[in-house]
Chain A
Amino acid sequence: MAKVRNWQLGRDMEYPFAAERPPKQFTMIMDTNKCIACQSCTIACKSTWTWGKGQEFMLWNNIETKPYGFYPTGWDVNILELLGEQSWEGGTYTGETVFEAAPPGERVLGWAPAEEDWSHPNIGEDEPTGNAEETTYVPDNPHSMMWMYYLQRICNHCTYPACVAACPRDAIYKRPEDGIVLVDQTRCRGYQECLTACPYKKTMFNLETRVSEKCIGCYPKLEQGLQTQCTTACIGRLRLTNYLSPPDEADPRKPADYLVHIRKLALPIYPQLGLEPNVYYIPPVHVPVKYLTQMFGPGVQRAIDIYRNAKDDPELLGLLMLFGSTERIMDTWDVRDGVARAYDEGGEEIVAVPLREPTFVRKFEFATEVEGQPVTGFRHNT
């Protein structure tokens, strides 16, 4: 075990390998408030990467209805229960990570989903499960509540991946060029240790090739300077594919650095597990903070306050409006004269978006005749 710095925990922690932060780290920012669970991202991913035979159960990207939707079933509640109490003191995590809590003979504290756990994505949340009086929508049922939200999930391309830690063959690795976590398809021996270890359950087993596969961060697109399939297919424009610097090198001109490190609006998912996940979430503003703190750590209330104020925060508003405005990866951005602009690494403008779309008011007209025939009624925008 090596001591590594996990900034999301505000402390050092144990990890089987020494820290090797890539100079550039793939990241994705998700604005949970904008998602309608249309699954366009899921289909974009599935139809690009995982529609082969043997990949039937694989959803490298999925959207689940929280708190009771899962893929695979129970993925987060199971590991939270195994880990026991997780406590924070200020910004420092004082509980154990999945590495520190590993039982004797194991490298990571984990659990293996059964095959049926993969077979029913979001079971019970997207379809009726019985008559109305038996469902979750009836008041007085403990399950019933006045909030839910959608959680967008891909591989977190963690700084300290549990799949990497658990693989007995070192068949999983982080690409040095962008920190994307990949399964070496020639080295994998199908032991499925990664499926047990990854607390986010984002490595999957191919039934035909008998080796593990996972989200590849659409690296062939990244290499061309393009955002991922799930990002560009998102009709809610809630995703941003970007690169994240370590906190001490944060650059406020870079979109992910600004949202994660400078404004601390986008938060890691289950940071207490200790993997330093690199997908960040703008928390849903209408969900109880207590629940959100369990999922996104201690910065939730602050993030919600910032987000609620975004309409009066032109810099932040501008950046949020650049989400989904271009297929290209933004290197930097700025907001001037009511227009948000994104630039590539050479400083060339990629896209410009006005903070406020111009409004046109059409004069009301009442038609008395159309093509010589008398009519009554309103003239619509035809």
Chain B
Amino acid sequence: MSDAKITRKDALVYGGAAAGGLVVGGAAVAGLAAGVEARKLPQPLEGVEISAPIVDGDLPVEDPSADAWRQAQRVRVPLVPQQLVPPYLEQGHVDELLVRALHDGSDLALLLEWDDRDVDDLDGIRRYHDAVAVQLAATAGATLPPLTMGGPGAPVHILQWRATWQRDIDSGGKTGVEQIYPEVVHDVMPDDVLPPETAQLYWVGREAGNPLSLQNRVTPVEEIVAEGFGTVTHLTEQTARGHGNHEDGGWSVVVSFPLARAGAGSRMEPGSRWPAAFAVWLGSEENRGGRKHISDWQTIALEAQ
């Protein structure tokens, strides 16, 4: 990620303000440059704890571009292709994730940013989505759970943001066949001729309550517990929130959740340190499931109140 690049949003927000509302070529360009300079962030830190200070103001639980994020240090987390458990990711296409953290005593919010030129937010045949996830030890303890999504008796709490789910929300659930193939023509579909309760049976995944198949969702972040690869279990009560923006060749995603972690693990107390690991999926590179980029364990340090 580079902070020297000018996004469309930068131009609109900073350029306009600095130019005093005048659309004058020279002034606008000067304004843009000043805006970018002012917004430039310090180089990300590496090999340090991800400190989560107490936010001054509202916690940006769903806003990746909130000013509050300037209160948090960026930490560079290296990523490698997952090659611990088959199926492997043969080749990596992103090698770092930039992480920031803030909390307000009741919720923790993470800002996760990585490079990805392509927006992959539809699931189709051999068409996969962009995503990011953080895994946290479910309970505090001297022993780390296995990095591979925990292990038997050593559960992890996972929060995964998916571009598809973000699009589900942004588009009001219009993310199916008509969006994948805008020219699709249907003649008669079950819901044209059958009572709704019967027509619904043809969407078996949805009827069976699979969280992937939901049409109307309230959050782009799925809250999961797992005890190893292949054991992902969707929590009955979903409390995580978040939002992802794609700008300037990369994703900026907020993932936030209550520190109480009901049903997922023990409470993350302010003043405590928690092991956390990250994963990034690039849909354009056919990443999905275990074919992902992973980090080693990091530490999130919550500022004491």
On whether the two chains bind one another, the answer is: yes
Which residues of A line the B interface, CB within 8 A? 51-57, 104-107, 112-115, 118, 166, 168-170, 185-186, 188-193, 195, 205-211, 213
Closest to B177 in A: A207
Cα-based distance from A118 to B188 in the complex (angstroms): 21
CB of B180 within 8 A of CB of A209, answer no
A206 contact set on B, CB distance < 8 A: 203-205
Which residues of B line the A interface, CB within 8 A? 83, 86-88, 90, 123-128, 164, 176-177, 180, 184, 186, 188-191, 199, 202-210, 212-213, 229-232, 286, 288-290
B204 contact set on A, CB distance < 8 A: 185, 206, 209, 213
20 A/B residue pairs, CB under 8 Å, sorted by A: A52-B199, A53-B189, A54-B177, A107-B86, A170-B230, A189-B212, A190-B288, A192-B125, A192-B288, A193-B289, A195-B125, A205-B124, A205-B125, A207-B124, A207-B125, A207-B180, A209-B213, A210-B123, A211-B212, A211-B213
CB of B125 within 8 A of CB of A52, answer no
CB of A168 within 8 A of CB of B87, answer yes
**Cβ contact of A186, chosen from B124, B128, B191, B208, cutoff 8 A:** B208
Cα-based distance from A112 to B210 in the complex (angstroms): 24
Cα-based distance from A28 to B186 in the complex (angstroms): 32
**Cβ contact of A53, chosen from B177, B207, B208, B209, cutoff 8 A:** B177
CB of A185 within 8 A of CB of B208, answer yes
Cα-based distance from A193 to B229 in the complex (angstroms): 14
**What 9 pairs between A and B have smallest CB-CB spacing?**
A52-B202, A105-B88, A209-B205, A191-B289, A209-B213, A185-B208, A115-B125, A211-B205, A208-B176
CB of A190 within 8 A of CB of B123, answer yes
Interface centre among B83, B190, B289 (most CB of A within 10 A): B289
Min distance, Cβ A236 to any Cβ of chain B, angstroms: 27
CB of B86 within 8 A of CB of A208, answer no
CB of B125 within 8 A of CB of A105, answer no
Cα-based distance from A106 to B86 in the complex (angstroms): 5
**Cβ contact of A52, chosen from B90, B164, B189, B208, cutoff 8 A:** B189
A213 contact set on B, CB distance < 8 A: 204
Min distance, Cβ A108 to any Cβ of chain B, angstroms: 9
Knowing A53-B176, A113-B126, A207-B180 touch, does A105 contact B202 (C-beta < 8 A)? no
Min distance, Cβ B25 to any Cβ of chain A, angstroms: 46
